[in-house]
């Protein structure tokens, strides 16, 4: 990974909330080779020193604002003393021909991989950005504890969170997901993204598939997943049964909670957000 620049991110706006601050920032990413944006919720406890940090990866078509506006996380994060970080879901510039041709590839759909195929490989390096450069920037410029990092996400972001945690067990002390793409090599969304970003050699894909990564060895701690039974993407795209089977085969503790009637959106996410924040806080406060 390239070394993150020393220059502090630019604060675009800040807003008081629950005794802390919601803020939006931009910086020049060396990993992506372009400007990137992210949002923070800084809890009131950060006034006394660094606090545990929890990264949220959003899903298809979303950006750095989606989580902060829709998830309803700030009240509980303020109580628990969690610094929340929500990056954008893809580079936004420079523009690449065809980057807005479909909603599930390109803009807003970086899939948290390091692209190897032109023209995407020049900028679509979201895996290294999220797991390397962004934590370095946060640790350098904001009151985050580097020894207390967790990660979670939704849908495409749930896939990204699981991959990040499985590949970096020493970095992330906790991981959870809402309706993650659990086996992207086996679903249309994942296959389209992997083919475009990583090429036709499917041996390259396994490093970004949570079900495949389970075989490399289980995490020490349990994984929490909430999934709505009314989710229209459940069977074709998300495939939690494959993820559960992989976890069982690897001896990985995984709690899948099927929530009756809930769909794929933020009414579902906000309903169970508190449980996820408490799950992470219990592990990050050790």
Q: How many residues does the chain have?
A: 286
Catalytic annotation present for 264: yes
Catalytic annotation present for 231: yes
Closest-CA residue to 231 (of 276, 159, 178, 191): 178
- Dihedral (C-alpha) 70, 72, 74, 76: value to the nearest 10 degrees? -160
End-to-end CA distance of the chain: 29
Catalytic annotation present for 15: no
- Indicate which residue of 155, 174, 176, 211 is catalytic: 155
Distance from C-alpha of 29 to C-alpha of 27, rounded to nearest angstrom: 6
- Indicate which residue of 27, 123, 159, 264 is catalytic: 264
- Indicate which residue of 90, 231, 276, 280 is catalytic: 231
Residue 154, H or E segment = strand 144-154
Which DSSP symbol is given to 176?
E
Please name the residues in contact with 235: beta carbons below 8 A apart, sequence gap of 6 or more: none
Closest-CA residue to 54 (of 128, 162, 177, 144): 144
Catalytic residue positions, numbered:
155, 231, 264
């Amino acid at each position: 990974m390239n070394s993150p620049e020393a220059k502090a991110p630019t604060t675009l706006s800040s807003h008081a909330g629950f005794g802390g601050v919601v803020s939006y920032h931009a910086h020049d990413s060396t990993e992506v080779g372009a400007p990137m944006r992210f949002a923070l919720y800084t809890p009131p406890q950060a006034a006394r020193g660094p606090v545990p940090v929890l990264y949220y990866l959003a899903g298809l078509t979303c950006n750095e604002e989606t989580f902060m506006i829709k998830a309803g996380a700030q009240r509980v994060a303020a109580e628990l003393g969690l610094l929340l970080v929500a990056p954008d879901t893809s580079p936004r510039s420079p523009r690449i021909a065809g980057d807005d041709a479909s909603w599930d590839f390109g803009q807003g759909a970086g899939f948290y991989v390091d692209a190897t195929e032109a023209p995407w490989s020049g900028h679509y390096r979201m895996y290294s950005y999220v797991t390397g450069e962004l934590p370095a920037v946060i640790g350098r410029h904001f009151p985050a504890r580097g020894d207390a990092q967790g990660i979670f996400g939704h849908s495409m972001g749930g896939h990204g969170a699981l991959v990040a945690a499985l590949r970096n067990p020493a970095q992330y002390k906790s991981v959870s997901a809402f309706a993650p793409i659990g086996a992207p090599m086996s679903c249309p969304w994942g296959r389209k993204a992997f083919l475009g970003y990583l090429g036709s050699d499917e041996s390259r894909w396994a490093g970004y598939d949570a079900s495949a990564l389970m075989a490399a060895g289980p995490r020490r701690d349990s994984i929490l997943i909430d999934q709505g039974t009314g989710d229209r993407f459940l069977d074709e795209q998300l495939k939690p049964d494959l993820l559960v089977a992989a976890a069982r085969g690897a001896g990985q503790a995984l709690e899948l909670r099927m929530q009756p009637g809930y769909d794929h959106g933020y009414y579902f996410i906000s309903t169970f957000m508190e449980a996820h924040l408490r799950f992470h806080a219990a592990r990050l406060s050790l």
